[in-house]
Structure 1
Amino acid sequence: MSTRVPAVTSQVIAIRPGRPLAGAVTVDGSKNAALPLVAAAAALLRPVRLDNVPASSDVQTLLDLLRHAGWNTEHPVGDDHTVLVLPRETAPAPDGLGEAASSIRASYYLVPSLIALCGRARLPWPGGCRIGDRGMEQHFKVYEAFGDRVRVDDNGYAVEAGKAVRGTVSLVLPFRSRGATIAAVLRAVVASTPLRLGQPNLSPEVLGVLNALTAVGYPCRAGDRVLTLVPPSSVLEEDVPVWKVPGDKIEAGTLACAVAATGGTARIDGVHGPDVTPLVGALHRMGIPTTNEPETLVIHGRDTQPTGRPLRAMATLAPGGLDADFEPPLLGLALGFPGTHLFSDPINPGRHSNLIPQLVRMGGEITELSSTECRFTGPQRLTGAGVEATDIRTGSALMVAGLTARGVTTLGGVDQIRRGHADLPGKLLTLGADICEVTP
């Protein structure tokens, strides 16, 4: 059997239960962290090298958009995971991104970069998958605070740089939006204006951008209540800064849930330990022993002793809270554990309506309490069925569920999974999963 799942987008993933997963695997760079780092590199309008860049399709699409908008993005010979971002001396108008930009949500990260290069940005509404409203209101308030003019229509939105604001730009976000926090930080970089942002998002992905900017001379302070950024008095440009994309905490969490679901024991390398602390806490409440080291997560599934305690998996934007992208694979795992469990994702109100009907096809009995909350009692025994990945995390949850379901689970929507993971099925295969891609 091959050690890598072939990358054929017309196929479906077939999953069968088998022996407990075991061994070791290294996660790719994080899609969620790479996207804002690519945008931050572009906003500086100077050469920046990014290491550990994942080959997930969303990241490749963003790099393609940069090239179309006026940047060079180069791979060193023989190194597909390193990208050098270089601004061109002249750039085309930024109005031709169109359909490609509507295929991903993260196209909005490019607004500050386009303003830096062209003074304006015109983009379609964010797309990618069906997990609820892609609201941009907080982003628009950020740009208006910097004096920019915003126009919207049915096809998208335009942001045009206005008269520069003097002094510190101060605003408070009504909720801890990751996208709006990144927008504010990068717009401050482009404007060379001090920023004071209340109620910021302090996820590892945001902190990664702040650390990268600090490394090139931007003083940043990030507290629970206020984030501040000050333009540097001078920027050293003799050397090309090197930023490294951190390991994918969500891929690590998904693999951890898969190992635990099968009662296996495995080591997952390349993930920053504190980034998965909320997930580890949920696993411990279920009775799954784990070892969380600085760059390694070990799941001791063979020693699991189910507690029967209810699991409350509540996605939140609060610092140190459970990332919403951990919730779907945890749900797939918790179906097999005793207790009455409550899951909540108020951040992505359409995600449960994607995932729950697919699990019901497999025999899951789940009560939807609202568009963002559901409850179920385990353990449940699922049966393989034909299901669809309507978004990245629904696909990962269905893979976890399929590893313990009776019979064969066939999972469509492979392109959705590849948006976030270049080869998640291949990593499961490395750990011994009975998984492959087949022609329908």
Structure 2
Amino acid sequence: MSLEVTRVTSVGTVTVRPARPLSGTVRADGSKNAALPLLAAAASLRRGVHLSGVPASTDVSRMLTLLERCGYRVVHPVTEPAAVVVLPGAHSRELPVLADAARIRASYYLVPPLLSAFGKASLPWPGGCQIGDRGMEQHFKVYEQFGDTVLFDDAGYQVIAGSSASLVAVNLPFRSRGASIAAILRTVVGNCRLELGNPNLSPETTSVLAALQAAGWQAHASEDKITLAPPPGAPAGTVSWTVPGDKVEAGTLACAIAATGGTGRIEGVNGSDLRALAQLLDWTGIPVTVAADAVTVHQGRPISGRPLRAVASLAPDGLDADFEPALIALALGLPGTHLFADSINPGRHGNLLPQLAQLGARIDALSPTQCRVTGPQWLTGAQVNATDIRAGSALLVAALAAHGTTTVTGLDQLRRGHANLPAKLRSLGADITEVPR
């Protein structure tokens, strides 16, 4: 273990001082939100998968440990620190107890690997960020469409594999990312065909489809339907996949650059994944150039004062809910009255808004999922706490624009989703100091 890793993992607090305009070039890590389902897909495939671009966030590390406890082999190539190879293993007959899965909000992605290895899955209810219940109803309906039996109680749930038909048709009542990926991965386990109506088409979903195509599966996605069919024959050998760059980390870095009036380029991310965010920033007078593999934030034109309307959406080309907290922090420095809404994560505003208030922010909570910000506002450094991943990143954005020193605690939460976001900001010129425990 290097000295750098030891230093980073021993820090739970940072101090942030007002920054000069951030500038430079930084590279986003692989996406935690994409890595978790790709790891589950790799385990469900029953062949070796070489996965590159794997982020060192703690949620991903925990998922790798859980897959090993399920009997899968996980190899870390010495020459590729950001890669893992997931291989079929020798599974015991006894279903493992996976209590630690309660610490991951997306732990439900473990169901298909468990069904593949044991014919049944037993898991605690999802945990992770406390931003509202992680509804499992649509997941359970998906599994029942495959002929599976679902049992649950206060402690958790079980899925017992049934015999699926050669073609399974599922129509989702809303574009649930988790339920869409559950249907795709269950299709892989069942080696059957799928017709999925009203699917989620986020990059996290389409990256799984692209990975399966690389493994020989026939996949087609449109706004109305995803179709999936097994490859002819039984493909062998190791297949190579890549985790896409973290659009949320890139968006957070873009908001931080914009909040300080700087210019910077974020590489290693699919620019089109940030188009909705870029359009919002451009609307306010902060130009953003979107390239195939990068986004660049430029020094703002005269700020427009136009109202920013950031409403989280599951629709294709909608605004990802994970962009909203950083946008709230940015809007505190923008003239105009701005509206924010996130009905997908109903507890998120309850976490973030009280912490921003510690910095002097005045935010009108219109409902538990809607708020209004009128700016620009004067923020003063204070002690705040990263109550969840996205709240932590938003607090770093706000602290960079505040007057005086801000202390951000709870960095363990932030590192569940980002290996070291403070270091990336520091490489752009942010004045951020790590405080040892």
TM superposition score normalised by structure 1? 0.96
In the alignment, structure 1 residue 140 sits paired with structure 2 residue 140: yes
Letter of the aligned partner of 1:370 in structure 2?
Answer: S
Q: Distance in 2 between matches of 1:79 and 1:194?
A: 35
Which one of the candidate residues 337, 340, 343 is aligned to 2:337? 340
Shift of 1:185: 0.4
CA deviations over 1:55-87 (Å, ceiling 9, x no partner): 000000000000001101011113221100011
CA deviations over 1:408-437 (Å, ceiling 9, x no partner): 111111011000000100000000100011
Residue 107 of structure 2 aligns with which residue?
A: 107
Residue 22 of structure 2 aligns with which residue?
A: 21
Which one of the candidate residues 236, 254, 257 is aligned to 1:256? 254
Residue 288 of structure 1 aligns with which residue?
A: 286
CA deviations over 1:238-296 (Å, ceiling 9, x no partner): x3110001111110000000001001111111011111101101110110011111111
Q: Distance in 2 between matches of 1:290 and 1:35?
A: 29
The secondary structure found in structure 2 opposite 1:267 is: strand
Residue 235 of structure 2 aligns with which residue?
A: 236
Q: Distance in 1 between matches of 2:66 and 2:199?
A: 27
Residue 360 of structure 2 aligns with which residue?
A: 363
Q: Distance in 2 between matches of 1:200 and 1:116?
A: 23
Letter of the aligned partner of 1:156 in structure 2?
Answer: G
Q: Distance in 2 between matches of 1:259 and 1:274?
A: 19
Letter of the aligned partner of 1:294 in structure 2?
Answer: A
Q: Distance in 1 between matches of 2:424 and 2:141?
A: 41
Cα pair 2:10 2:436 within 8 Å, conserved: no
Cα pair 2:72 2:91 within 8 Å, conserved: no
5 Å matches for 1:32-43? 32-43=33-44
Q: Distance in 1 between matches of 2:195 and 2:26?
A: 41
Unaligned runs of 5+ in 2: none
1:376/1:337 CA distance change after superposition, 3 Å: same
Shift of 1:9: 4.2
Cα pair 1:3 1:429 within 8 Å, conserved: no
5 Å matches for 1:13-412? 13-91=14-92, 93-98=94-99, 100-162=100-162, 164-237=163-236, 239-301=237-299, 303-412=300-409
Letter of the aligned partner of 2:281 in structure 1?
Answer: L
Shift of 1:92: 5.2
Q: Distance in 2 between matches of 1:277 and 1:376?
A: 23
Cα pair 1:200 1:224 within 8 Å, conserved: yes
Q: Distance in 1 between matches of 2:82 and 2:304?
A: 42
Q: Distance in 2 between matches of 1:286 and 1:33?
A: 30
Letter of the aligned partner of 2:295 in structure 1?
Answer: L
The secondary structure found in structure 1 opposite 2:412 is: helix
Q: Distance in 1 between matches of 2:33 and 2:204?
A: 7
1:73/1:4 CA distance change after superposition, 3 Å: closer
CA deviations over 1:292-349 (Å, ceiling 9, x no partner): 1111111112x43210000000000000000000111011001100010000001000
Cα pair 1:217 1:234 within 8 Å, conserved: no
The secondary structure found in structure 2 opposite 1:313 is: strand
Cα pair 1:5 1:426 within 8 Å, conserved: no
Unaligned runs of 5+ in 1: none
Q: Distance in 2 between matches of 1:391 and 1:12?
A: 14
CA deviations over 1:214-260 (Å, ceiling 9, x no partner): 111111111111111112222421x3110001111110000000001
The secondary structure found in structure 2 opposite 1:13 is: strand
CA deviations over 1:110-160 (Å, ceiling 9, x no partner): 101110110000000000121001111111001111011111011100101
Letter of the aligned partner of 2:87 in structure 1?
Answer: L
Q: Distance in 1 between matches of 2:232 and 2:245?
A: 32
Letter of the aligned partner of 1:119 in structure 2?
Answer: G
CA deviations over 1:18-54 (Å, ceiling 9, x no partner): 2111111111111011111000000001111000100
1:381/1:138 CA distance change after superposition, 3 Å: same
1:5/1:252 CA distance change after superposition, 3 Å: farther
The alignment of Structure 1 onto Structure 2 pairs a total of residues equal to 435
Cα pair 1:48 1:241 within 8 Å, conserved: yes
Shift of 1:13: 1.2
Letter of the aligned partner of 1:38 in structure 2?
Answer: L
Q: Distance in 2 between matches of 1:91 and 1:358?
A: 47
Cα pair 1:210 1:220 within 8 Å, conserved: yes
Q: Distance in 2 between matches of 1:62 and 1:107?
A: 8
Q: Distance in 1 between matches of 2:78 and 2:260?
A: 40
The secondary structure found in structure 2 opposite 1:369 is: strand
Shift of 1:5: 10
Q: Distance in 1 between matches of 2:147 and 2:189?
A: 13
The secondary structure found in structure 2 opposite 1:96 is: coil
Q: Distance in 1 between matches of 2:403 and 2:431?
A: 13
Letter of the aligned partner of 2:350 in structure 1?
Answer: S
CA deviations over 1:176-229 (Å, ceiling 9, x no partner): 111100000000111112111111100001000000101111111111111111
Shift of 1:10: 5.1
Letter of the aligned partner of 2:249 in structure 1?
Answer: E
The secondary structure found in structure 2 opposite 1:7 is: helix
